[in-house]
Structure 1
Amino acid sequence: MNREIISDKQGISIVAIFIAGTSSILSLGLDAEKDVWLAITLSIIMGIIVSLIFIRLHLIFSDKNLFDICEICFGKFIGKIFILLFTWFSFEEGSQVLINNSQFIRDTALPKTPMIMPRIVFLILCFWAVKEGIEVIGRWSSFFIVPFVIFVFITVLLLVPKMDINNILPVLDKGINPVLKGAYSSFTFPFGEVVMFSMIFSRFKTKKSYYNVYILGLLIGGICALLLSLSTVLVVIPTEALQKYYSSYDTATRIDIGDFIQRLEIISSLVFVIGGFIKISILLLASCIGISKIFNFSDYRFIVIPICLLLLNLSFIEFDSRMEFVDWNNSGWLYYTFIFEVILPVIVLIAAEMKKHKRCP
Structure 2
Amino acid sequence: MMNKEVISDKQAISIVVLFMSGTSTMLMLALDAYGDFWLAIIFAVVIALFTTFIFSQLHGIYPEKDFFDMCEACFGKSLGKVICILYIYFIIEEATAVLINTKQFITETTMPETPQTIVIIPLMLLCVWAVKSGIEVIGKWSELSMIIFVSLIIIMGILLIPQMELDNFEPILYKGIKPVLKGTLSAFTFPFGEIVMLAMVFSNFKTKKSAYKVYMLGIFISGIIALMTSITTILVLGIDIATTSYFPVFNAASGIDIGDFIQRLEIIAALIGVIGAFLKNSILLLAVCKGITKIFHLTNYHLMIIPVSLLIINYSNILVDSRMRFVEWNEKAWSYYAVVFELFIPMIMLLIATIKKGAMDSMRKQQ
Cα offset, 1:296, TM superposition: 0.5
Q: Structure 1 stretch 349-358 or stretch 87-96: which is displaced more?
A: 349-358
Opposite residue 135 of structure 1, the aligned amino acid is: E
The corresponding residue for 1:247 is 248
Cα distance in 2 for partners of 1:56, 1:95 equals 30
Cα offset, 1:2, TM superposition: 2.5
Cα offset, 1:358, TM superposition: 2.0
Identical pairs, percent: 51
In the TM superposition, what whole-angstrom CA distance separates every residue of 1:85-114 from its partner, at most 9, and x where no partner exists? Answer: 111111111011011101111111111111
The residue correspondences of 1:122-201 to structure 2 (distance < 5 A) are 122-201=123-202
Opposite residue 283 of structure 1, the aligned amino acid is: L
The corresponding residue for 1:78 is 79
Cα distance in 1 for partners of 2:24, 2:97 equals 15
Q: Structure 1 stretch 24-33 or stretch 194-203: which is displaced more?
A: 24-33
The residue correspondences of 1:4-43 to structure 2 (distance < 5 A) are 4-43=5-44
Opposite residue 107 of structure 1, the aligned amino acid is: E
The corresponding residue for 1:308 is 309
Structure 1 position 204 matched with structure 2 position 205: yes
Cα distance in 1 for partners of 2:22, 2:75 equals 35
Q: Structure 1 stretch 345-354 or stretch 274-283: which is displaced more?
A: 345-354
Structure 1 position 298 matched with structure 2 position 299: yes
Cα distance in 1 for partners of 2:85, 2:110 equals 37
Structure 1 position 2 matched with structure 2 position 2: yes
The corresponding residue for 1:344 is 345
Cα distance in 2 for partners of 1:159, 1:172 equals 26
Q: Secondary structure at the match of 1:152?
A: helix
Opposite residue 272 of structure 1, the aligned amino acid is: G
Provide TM-score, normalisation by structure 1: 0.98
The corresponding residue for 1:119 is 120
Cα offset, 1:164, TM superposition: 1.4
The corresponding residue for 2:109 is 108
Matched length: 361
Aligned residues of 1:159 and 1:255 also touching (Cα < 8 A) = yes
The corresponding residue for 2:93 is 92
Moved over 3 A (4+): none
Aligned residues of 1:126 and 1:280 also touching (Cα < 8 A) = yes
Q: Structure 1 stretch 312-321 or stretch 283-292: which is displaced more?
A: 312-321
Structure 1 position 273 matched with structure 2 position 274: yes
- Segments of 5+ residues of structure 2 without an aligned counterpart are 363-367
Aligned residues of 1:22 and 1:272 also touching (Cα < 8 A) = yes
Cα distance in 1 for partners of 2:75, 2:188 equals 28
Opposite residue 167 of structure 1, the aligned amino acid is: N
Aligned residues of 1:253 and 1:265 also touching (Cα < 8 A) = yes
Structure 1 position 359 matched with structure 2 position 349: no
Structure 1 position 331 matched with structure 2 position 332: yes
Aligned residues of 1:23 and 1:228 also touching (Cα < 8 A) = no
Cα distance in 2 for partners of 1:35, 1:260 equals 35
The corresponding residue for 2:239 is 238
Q: Secondary structure at the match of 1:317?
A: coil
Cα offset, 1:81, TM superposition: 0.8
Opposite residue 213 of structure 2, the aligned amino acid is: N
In the TM superposition, what whole-angstrom CA distance separates every residue of 1:295-335 from its partner, at most 9, and x where no partner exists? Answer: 00121011111111111111112111111111000111110
The corresponding residue for 2:365 is none
In the TM superposition, what whole-angstrom CA distance separates every residue of 1:141-191 from its partner, at most 9, and x where no partner exists? Answer: 001101110110111111111111122242222222222221111111001
The corresponding residue for 1:53 is 54
Opposite residue 278 of structure 2, the aligned amino acid is: F
Cα distance in 2 for partners of 1:82, 1:350 equals 16
Cα offset, 1:194, TM superposition: 0.5
In the TM superposition, what whole-angstrom CA distance separates every residue of 1:241-266 from its partner, at most 9, and x where no partner exists? Answer: 11100011101111111111111110
Q: Secondary structure at the match of 1:200?
A: coil
In the TM superposition, what whole-angstrom CA distance separates every residue of 1:26-64 from its partner, at most 9, and x where no partner exists? Answer: 011112222221111111111111111111100111111
Opposite residue 263 of structure 1, the aligned amino acid is: R
Opposite residue 105 of structure 2, the aligned amino acid is: F
Cα distance in 2 for partners of 1:196, 1:358 equals 29
Opposite residue 330 of structure 1, the aligned amino acid is: E
Structure 1 position 216 matched with structure 2 position 221: no
Cα distance in 1 for partners of 2:249, 2:89 equals 30
Q: Secondary structure at the match of 2:199?
A: helix
Aligned residues of 1:40 and 1:186 also touching (Cα < 8 A) = yes
Cα distance in 1 for partners of 2:308, 2:30 equals 32
CA change 1:73–1:24 in 2 (3 A) is closer
Cα distance in 1 for partners of 2:189, 2:36 equals 18
Q: Structure 1 stretch 175-184 or stretch 246-255: which is displaced more?
A: 175-184
Q: Structure 1 stretch 63-72 or stretch 22-31: which is displaced more?
A: 22-31
Structural RMSD (CA): 1.1
